[in-house]
Chain A
Amino acid sequence: MKFRAKMIDVGCLNNFTRVVNTISKLTKTCTLRLTTDNLFFMLSDKVANGGVSMWCELSQANFFDEFQLEGVSAEANEIYLELQPEYMSRALRTAQNAKSLKVKLTKKHCPCLTLAAELPSLSSASRLVTHDIPVDVIPRRLWQDFKEPSVPDFDVSIYLPPLKTMKNVVDRMKNLSNHLVLEANLNGEMNLKIETDLVSISTHFKDLGNPSWSDEASQGPSQARAPETMAHARVDIKKLQQLLTGQQVNPSKAMCNIVNKRMLHFILLHEDVSLQYFIPAMA
């Protein structure tokens, strides 16, 4: 198993750092899957994660200038690692003005993902910083646990308002309640609601628009829907806040699919980065 990659462009480094920062805000540990074309940051919906799952896909060519990978075998040319994205985020933070960044899979005291940054210095030689991030190599028999989640059979799909606006609303609601109901219909209307013994609050958004999913599979149930009927899900407000607070990708498109009373599926798209985040509904 071999992996090495090199990034030279500062813009790429910044974007990559933002993605990793976002991931590190969402989860303590995650799986990094490396293939010859892509990087995936994944969190599967185990109970230990509170039922939340995440799938973030990056095209390596958009970030790296060199990318060499030799997986387990020729037919399974992939590598699965478990790591703490916080370490990666911290390592990248200190490499912000690096001339180059190398990412390597290394065998030190334990398997490590080594990030080596070449920093400008006062002399002709560069300063070299290396960060060895301990990783667990995930054996092949467990790979099946990490499948790309299919777009769920949702009832309503809706574009989200600016995430910052949403964050401001949710931040305030979080002071009052632990749970939040997100509901939306096919008229482009979305409501954020909390209800406690003392107070009920609802924030209404309109004219958001509904993405058209040409994908036949998901289209089925929603076509039969009356446009004004709300689909809703009640979720842990902290999970939603984590997503809104932590995200640094500033997506050009953000949408939410609602499976009535089952889950929320968020999709953030920015250039070639896509982040999907699933929050299960609570009773």
Chain B
Amino acid sequence: MDCMVTGGNVKVLATSIHSLSRIGEELYLEPQEDGLALRTVNSSRSAYACFLFGPLFFQRYSSSKSSTFRCKMAVKCAQAVFRSLSSLEKTVERCRIQLNSEKSRLTFTLHCKHGLLKTHNLSFQDCESLQAVFDKESCGNILRAQPRLLVDTVLHFPSSLEEVSVSVSGEQVCFRNHVEEKAEQGKAMLTELSLTAEEFEQFTVGCPACVTFCLKEMRGLLMFAESSGLPVSLYFDAPGRPVILSLTESVLEVNFVLATLSEDSHPCNDNRNKSTEGLQNAAPPDDFMNDDIDSYLIAMETSELAPGGHGCVPPPPQDANMGQLRARATSEGEEEQSEEEMGRAPNKKFCSLFFGSVLPTPSQVTNLTLRSQEVLASDSENEEEDATLL
């Protein structure tokens, strides 16, 4: 892999890494034919973020000869390469990223003004592909707005606030802070902001609903959106199903997939949002009632697909009502699908499941599938063990 970023795009790349650093601790880097993918997932696996920089984003782009190279590293290390976003524009003219396969280092070379050359050799770990499976197009609600609108909206909430609820009806969208415990509601300040449809570039509401998700990750995306000036699209439908925040440009696609609280833990169910209540109740019966802890979970699935196979795995029927984020681990050769019901990981709020990685050899397929079902995907230790098997 060898690519060169020039001019203002260096800052875009740098900002994307800073934005990812707000979500997860590891940066997954994968040079694909359709561009360079930078991804991360948060520690509770309730949020996934992906930046895909198309080949035209680069002055020169060549992915690996053998298309198998992919790696992960601490996002802090990558962030250190682009430490100061503000001075970057003035000092750095070009940035080259190449793989030094002899030394197993990923080399970032910054060509700065006055012929100054800064070289960072980052060590990395081999890893499986990290990819959440989601379908934006199937979401009933799509809101698109200039980043400024959302940045201004988020400003009204304290930075300590963890979760925000968004509800839409035909004409307006309403943001409010999510207060978990009933007992705390008497003590906490509730803030509510409503925006009319006119403020959005696109305002499609197929199913009025109210979803609750983490604000921190959204702030991460907004940081990037604000600096790039690209409109942000918000895709969501029922509570429990993921919210997808997305930016698209000709040479760049950004998707943040965030878990949402499921319906029974949802504040909008009680009294506040009468307009959407009826609709939510009309939804097909589900078994949320039975699993209150699971309400925070996102169903995950780990699957093995052959390199060419990009088909989405149809959701298992019993999960149909749960928000689903499915992950796909890809390696060449085998084709195997395993599905994991997410277990419950205690102590975590949106303890969801992502990507237990499975890299089976033919003989291991059965075993691994079983194993990954026992092991919750939230246990990343096991993930690494699995990876080292190869």
Contacts and interface: CB of A to CB of B under 8 A. Distances in A.
Whether chains A and B associate is yes
Interface string A99-139: 00000000011101000000001111101111111100000
Interface residues of A, number: 21
Contacts of B190: 108, 112, 131-132
Interface stretch (B61-69, B93-101, B192-200, B355-363): B192-200
B188 interface: yes
Contacts of B118: none
Interface centre among B155, B187, B189 (most CB of A within 10 A): B189
A91 interface: yes
A87 interface: yes
B199 A121 contact: yes
Contacts of B156: 94, 129
A127 B191 CA distance: 13
A140 interface: no
B284 interface: no
A129 B192 contact: yes
Contacts of A94: 155-156, 191
Contacts of A109: 185-186
Contact of A129 (B146, B149, B191): B191
Given A94-B155, A94-B156, A122-B199, A130 B192 contact: yes
Contacts of A206: none
B155 A121 contact: no
A134 B189 contact: yes
B308 interface: no
Contacts of B346: none
A109 B192 CA distance: 14
Contact of A123 (B185, B194, B199): B199
Nearest to B188: A134
B195 A91 contact: no
A90 interface: yes
B129 to A, nearest CB: 40
A110 B188 CA distance: 11
Given A90-B158, A94-B155, A94-B156, A131 B199 contact: no
Interface in A120-165: 121-125, 127-134
A123 B198 contact: yes
Contact of A127 (B158, B185, B189, B193): B193
A122 B189 contact: no
A128 B172 CA distance: 11
Contacts of A112: 190
B186 A121 contact: no
- The 4 A-B residue pairs whose C-beta atoms are closest, nearest first, are A123-B198, A132-B190, A87-B189, A94-B156
Interface of B: 146, 149, 155-156, 158, 185-196, 198-199
